[in-house]
Amino acid sequence: MAFGPDNRWARTGTMTREQAHAAHIDVGLREYMLRVYNYMASGLALTGIIAWVTANTPALLGLLYAQTPQGYQPTMLFWGVVIAPIIMVFFLSARITTMKASTAQTLFWVYAGLMGLSLANVFLAYTGASVARVFFITAGSFAGLSLWGYTTKKDLSGFGSFLFIGLIGIILASVVNIFIGSSALEMTISVVGVLVFAGLTAYDTQRIKSLYLEADAGEVMTKKAILGALTLYLDFINMFLMLLRLFGNRE
């Protein structure tokens, strides 16, 4: 079937409109992912600042740790600071669809702040140089893994169950090691943990990307970005802590 000049122009116009629509979606997706990363980076910055300030402020440190001949021992307030973020993660994940975006954002900042208080002991247990070194190693690894998760055409959803099982195994092994105090088990947990959270970084990035819908209103988009930022924040923090156990120099 032959196409006349008018038909060719119509066909070209249709392709142009399709390409413009695809480009519009791509721009929207990039803006959405940039918002996710901005929230995550801001949360990490807040956590790091509060952790450093707490570790270097005796009055704050004294509220969380009691100094004994054996070293710093956690107080009841410390355990409250540790448990509260865990509760907040479950609450935020369960209620994100019904709460306002401003409320979700406030909870995210409070969560990041509480994590800073609970992680102040990192600056007590490890040298500042090794903390900085491991942080940059984690940041580089996270960036590469997240970029791969964002750009790969491979469907990573099949790895979700495997990674979740690995995560449960890490949690159970960590609880057991609290009572037995095995350095070999701690080393194994750290190695497996790095691999699991590396996989989760790529998997979660792809999943967060798949949640983007062009038709989402601003309120919904913001809440999706906050929940995505929280997910990647947890991947980063846990990978950092696992790597710190492996490569950090203790005080």
Note the pLDDT tens digit of each residue in 117-171.
999 989 988 998 999 999 999 999 999 999 999 999 999 988 888 999 999 999 9
Q: Which of 194, 208, 193 is nearest to 156 (CA)?
A: 208
3-state secondary structure of 68: strand
Tell me the pLDDT band of 250, cut-offs 50, 70 and 90.
confident
3-state secondary structure of 66: strand
* Helices within 56-159 (DSSP H only): 58-64, 76-95, 101-118, 121-125, 128-151
Q: What is the pTM of this model?
A: 0.86
Residue with token string 């440190």: 61
From CA 177, how far away is CA 162, in angstroms rounded? 22
Q: Which of 132, 87, 160, 134 is nearest to 246 (CA)?
A: 134
Contact yes or no for 226/108 (Cβ under 8 A): yes
Where do the structural domains in the chain lie, given as residue ranges? 28-247
pLDDT given for residue 115 in this prediction: 95
CA 168 to chain centre: 17
Tell me the pLDDT band of 9, cut-offs 50, 70 and 90.
very low
Q: What are phi and psi of 21, to 5 degrees?
A: -65, -45
Note the pLDDT tens digit of each residue in 84-109.
999 999 999 889 989 999 999 999 99
